[in-house]
Amino acid sequence: MPELKREVKSVEVNYLCDACGKGMMARAGEMDRQTGEIEHRCLICDHQQTFLWSEYPRIDYVGLDEKI
């Protein structure tokens, strides 16, 4: 099957803290290999939250014709 190429742009994906609503969540540990959980902490209020298979902040890529 031939290769297919298209132009994309990078976007930063952050997660706003559910507790204070102002701080960004940042990874605070390694992923648990059995469960896929990744612990994060708010950079402002230190609230802890676990995400399943998701890490913040991260970079995603979208096509130039796609909405963010």
Q: Which domain holds residue 37?
A: 8-60
pLDDT in tens, the chain (68 residues): 899 999 999 999 999 999 999 999 999 999 999 999 999 999 999 999 999 999 999 999 999 988 87
Looking at the domain assignment, is residue 65 inside a domain?
A: no
* 0.85 surpassed by pTM: no
Looking at the domain assignment, is residue 46 inside a domain?
A: yes
> How many domains does the structure of the chain reveal?
1
Looking at the domain assignment, is residue 2 inside a domain?
A: no
Looking at the domain assignment, is residue 31 inside a domain?
A: yes
Looking at the domain assignment, is residue 68 inside a domain?
A: no
Q: How many CA atoms lie within 13 A of 6 on its CB side?
A: 10
Q: How many CA atoms lie within 13 A of 3 on its CB side?
A: 2
